[in-house]
């Protein structure tokens, strides 16, 4: 299995990306292809020159995603996705700009048939239960049909790559009763009730971390609010614990405790997120990824490539 690594994106690129890719080669038996500056990349021990694709320009976080994809044809993102589209590699990993990867995914790799928009999920395991929340930021104004499509993509992903049988879906809403919410989710509820297998109805935001539903669907605006509120609340509580720890004899214990309590909610430990709805597997690693995180991301991508092959294709 050949995997394209964007060696230009991420806080610790290219070092962390290259080291992670080489670890993945050892551990997972994949064949890494390195996209980036040839001179720089060939200076790393263990990088085969034949597996470097030289990319002269790089897409930066500040670049407008759509514009960057059109203008920077010789960037790692564009080159890597083009190689993926042409079948020269089986999957692609980037720790760079999420927007650019999404835009590139849509323009270059293209969407699966019947998929109107690609979606960005977040993956969590809470008390051992696998959960996918999507969309968390790719689609700001989503139609009810798109929400239905996100639900199916989420189910499909959990089933094919994480082995979840009959994944259940809930619609993020302000109340559990039918008829709650804004026009968009009211219409989405009706669609889902008709067309979705294992639909569990509406879910309030307060139940997301407790409820045993697998896929939680929202548009990119509401999903982003949900995700970043979890992040902010965890951060606030962590800060409070650390500040209490300072004045306490049991400072060390308190910090350990904070870490233990909050680890389930730390979605960064899953390496990143898949881009859902594209023709081929693309994985977004966290910007702050170190080599270990790149390895985790590659593991998830390898499952994703395998899942695509095993998919029955019954879900859009």
Binding site for a second copy (CB under 8 A): 126, 137, 140-141, 172, 174, 181-183, 185, 204-210, 218-222, 224-237, 240-241, 244, 254, 257, 260-262, 264-265
Q: How far apart are CA 241 and CA 115, in angstroms?
A: 44
Rank residues 28 and 187 by Cβ distance to a second copy and give the closer one. Answer: 187
In terms of Cβ atoms closer than 10 Å to its own Cβ (0-12, 13-18, 19+), residue 265 is middle
Distance CA 106, CA 81 (A): 10
Helices (H), 95-196: 98-104, 144-162, 183-195
Measured from the CB atom, the residue of 56 and 242 that comes closer to a second copy is 242
Sign of torsion over alpha carbons 198, 200, 206, 212:
negative
Taking the complex as a whole, how short is the minimal distance between the CB of residue 104 and a second copy, in angstroms?
A: 19
* Whether 55 contacts 74, CB under 8 Å: yes
* Closest approach of a second copy to the CB of residue 177, in Å: 10
Nearer to a second copy, 166 or 174 (CB): 174
Nearest-approach distance from CB 206 to a second copy, in angstroms: 4
Shortest Å distance, C-beta 241 to a second copy = 6
Sign of CA dihedral 285, 291, 292, 298: positive
- Radius of gyration from C-alpha coordinates of the chain: 20
Nearer to a second copy, 28 or 244 (CB): 244
Query: What is the distance, to the nearest Å, from the Cα of residue 263 to the centroid of all Cα atoms in its chain?
Result: 18
Residue 309 beta carbon to a second copy: minimum distance, rounded to whole angstroms: 34
Say which DSSP state 282 is in. Answer: E
User: Which residue lies nearer to a second copy by CB, 212 or 310?
Assistant: 212
Of 220 and 274, CB closest to a second copy: 220
Q: How far is the CB of 266 from a second copy (least distance, A)?
A: 12
3-state DSSP call for residue 234? Answer: helix
Lookup: tokens for 23: 């670890």
> Bridge partners of 274?
283
Q: Shortest distance, CB of residue 205 to a second copy, whole angstroms?
A: 4
* Residue closer to a second copy (CB basis): 47 or 119: 119
Q: Does an H or E element contain 201, and which? A: strand 199-204
């Amino acid at each position: 299995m050949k995997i394209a690594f964007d060696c230009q994106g991420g806080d610790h690129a290219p070092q962390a990306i290259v080291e992670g890719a080489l670890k993945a080669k050892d551990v997972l038996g994949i064949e890494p292809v390195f996209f980036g500056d040839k001179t720089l990349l060939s200076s790393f021990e263990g990088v085969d020159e034949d597996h470097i694709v030289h990319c002269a320009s790089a897409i930066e976080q500040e670049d407008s995603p759509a514009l960057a994809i059109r203008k920077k044809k010789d960037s790692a993102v564009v080159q890597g996705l083009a190689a993926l589209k042409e079948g020269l590699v089986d999957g692609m990993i980037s720790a760079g700009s999420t927007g650019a990867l999404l835009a590139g995914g849509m323009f270059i790799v293209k969407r699966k048939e019947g998929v109107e928009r690609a979606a960005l999920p977040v993956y969590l395991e809470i008390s051992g239960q696998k959960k996918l929340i999507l969309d968390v930021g790719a689609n700001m104004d989503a139609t009810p049909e798109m929400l239905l499509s996100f639900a199916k993509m989420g189910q499909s992903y959990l089933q094919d790559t994480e082995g979840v049988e009959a994944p259940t879906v809930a619609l993020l809403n302000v109340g559990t009763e039918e008829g709650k919410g804004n026009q968009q989710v009211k219409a989405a509820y009706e669609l889902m009730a008709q067309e979705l297998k294992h639909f569990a109805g509406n879910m309030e935001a307060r139940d997301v971390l407790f409820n045993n539903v697998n896929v939680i669907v929202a548009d990119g605006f509401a999903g982003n609010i949900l995700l970043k509120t979890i992040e902010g609340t965890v951060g606030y509580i962590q800060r409070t614990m650390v500040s209490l720890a300072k004045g306490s004899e049991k400072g060390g214990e308190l910090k350990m405790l904070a870490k233990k309590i909050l680890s389930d909610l730390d979605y960064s430990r899953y390496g990143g997120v898949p881009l859902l709805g594209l023709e081929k597997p693309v994985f977004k690693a966290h910007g702050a990824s170190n080599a270990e995180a790149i390895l985790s991301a590659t593991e998830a991508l390898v499952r994703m490539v395998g899942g695509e092959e095993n998919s029955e294709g019954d879900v859009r």
